[in-house]
Amino acid sequence: MQRLLQIIVALVMALAILPARSQMRMNLGNDSPLQKLAIAHMYISNLYVDSVDDKKLAEDAIRGMIEKLDPHSAYSTPKEVKAFNEPLQGNFEGVGVQFNMLEDTLLVVQTITDGPSEKVGILAGDRFVNVNDTAIAGVKMSKEDIMRRLRGPKGTKVRIGVKRSGIKDIIYFTVTRDKIPLNTVDATYLIRPGVGYVRLGSFGATSHQEVVDAINKLRSQGMRDLILDLQDNGGGYLNAAADILNEFLEEGDLLVYTQGRVMKRQEFRARGNGIFRNGRIVVLINEFSASASEIVSGAIQDQDRGIVVGRRSFGKGTVQRPVDLPDGSMIRLTVARYYTPSGRCIQKAYEKGRKDDYDHDIDNRYKHGEFTCADSIHFADSLKYKTLKQGRTVYGGGGIMPDYFVPLDTTRYTKYHRELSAKSVIINANLRYAEKNRKALLKKYGKDVETGFKAFNADYQVPEALLDEIFEEGRKQKVEPKEGEDLEKTRRQIALQLKALIARDLWTMTEYFRVINEESDAVKCALEQLK
């Protein structure tokens, strides 16, 4: 009984942090579900034939309850909470390098500008071989373990052994860890005279300011119209989406509203002080654009502020409230749904407790032809809505249906190309090539982004020997083209991919997109609409 009393006391303490209204609806009488749970736990803990882990029992009970709810409610361990929050918070504390794993060695792709590693002289192309005298190369250490050794509280020091091309001995650097920014804007540039391009990878704590800075930069270069690329953007903070929308819409314009069983309707409206309220806007989305991406694209569409190009978005339109637990774990509980200004519910249909079916929705949409033919997408008349200013017909029922549909080109990448990518043959060949040729390429084209990239983009051709090396490595890994596959198409697409990756390695991620976007059907469609 003592154990039971301890559990009930803990439950009562938990109730103390809930709103009074919630407490009124709960009771701990003889027929209380909470008491039933506590009794079950007491008997399992005290009478079960084998010893049990009380902590795991509690976690399993929480997971069991949540699994019967919607697909977005979730339980996270303390470690998972940290990993989940870090990309959204806008920074972490570490040494400041972007890296990839080449075989079993950490290869520095870029150092963060003004970051701790750059300040002590670590360069792109360096290989980290040990950290604080612990070998991390050649020992099959996981990427997570390596990151754990490199990261640490701001102000602490870490000694890193580096192997540098052309230098026989290991070079040692003592790096003082610092806060490292996590940027969410992946690319910013003028894609055509007067047309700016901004690609946003997620909606984090710094996203609004990053987008404002990008727009101001592009306007200073003569931007009149904007392509906002939200393809593959899985979302993030609701406030970040609302703040970004505020830059585009007029005072009082409804941006989004949320509503749930207990949560009353909450509206987000534009304040009228946005910096880009006049130029034309095209928003790019695809089947992996979700949540905050759908809020932005839905509001732009409903308010007739711009057009949406691409494929129907994911359909994640629920609001999760974080519930922090005493041990640092967290429950993210769905408490409301998002609605676009016209009243469309962004959330696609789901059956409670059938998360597997929900997770396979994208695959099912692909099999049904939705990615290649707009006519494969059927909407009931009851899902028709009207935009707020021009009265155009738009559809609810989950996700945002674009104004201009861009089919997925399933013929662009051959199966051979996809298998080479899946085996990391292409990325590893690129890393080796960049490491060996970085100095020569920068000497030829120059470190300055604008002049260097312009010359590179006009002049550079991927060496045939590099492509042959990729195909030879593929053969070693038993990846070979099937009879009848278009090898010339494979060579062209891999060459384009490599050119974009090399541009990224020499300069920034923006240059990657400056290469790859010239072959993007969605970007081409956006530019056509702006004509």
Exposed/middle/buried for 191, CB within 10 Å: 0-12, 13-18, 19+? Answer: buried
* Catalytic, out of 253, 302, 403, 505: 302
Strands 127-131 and 157-163: antiparallel
Contact (Cβ atoms closer than 8 angstroms) between residue 148 and residue 116:
no
Phi–psi pair at 129, nearest 5 degrees: -110, -25
Q: Which tokens in the block code for residue 52?
A: 């049990």
Contact (Cβ atoms closer than 8 angstroms) between residue 416 and residue 482:
yes
Number of helices (H), then strands (E), in the chain: 19, 21
Q: Is 154 marked active-site?
A: no
Residue 110 CA to its chain's centroid (Å): 20
DSSP one-letter code for 293? H
Q: Which tokens in the block code for residue 422?
A: 């899946």
DSSP one-letter code for 253? -
Contact (Cβ atoms closer than 8 angstroms) between residue 106 and residue 127:
yes
* Catalytic, out of 76, 297, 316, 329: 316
Q: Is 316 marked active-site?
A: yes
If phi > 0 it is left, if psi is from -120 to 50 it is alpha, else beta; for residue 398 that is left
Partners of 98 in beta bridges: 110
In one-letter notation, the amino acid at residue 442 is L
Q: Is 443 marked active-site?
A: no
Q: Rounded distance, CA 473 to CA 462, Å?
A: 17
Contact (Cβ atoms closer than 8 angstroms) between residue 247 and residue 275:
yes
Q: Rounded distance, CA 411 to CA 388, Å?
A: 39
- Of the candidates 125, 170, 98, the one whose C-alpha atom is nearest the C-alpha of residue 440 is 125
In one-letter notation, the amino acid at residue 371 is F
* Catalytic, out of 73, 76, 291, 342: 291
In one-letter notation, the amino acid at residue 312 is R
Helix axes 487-506, 464-476, angle to 10 degrees: 110
Q: Which tokens in the block code for residue 307?
A: 């057009």
Residue 154 CA to its chain's centroid (Å): 25
Residue 503: CA count within 13 A, CB half-sphere = 29
Helix (H, G, I), strand (E, B) or coil at 264: coil
Helix (H, G, I), strand (E, B) or coil at 407: coil
Q: Please list the active-site residues.
A: 291, 302, 316
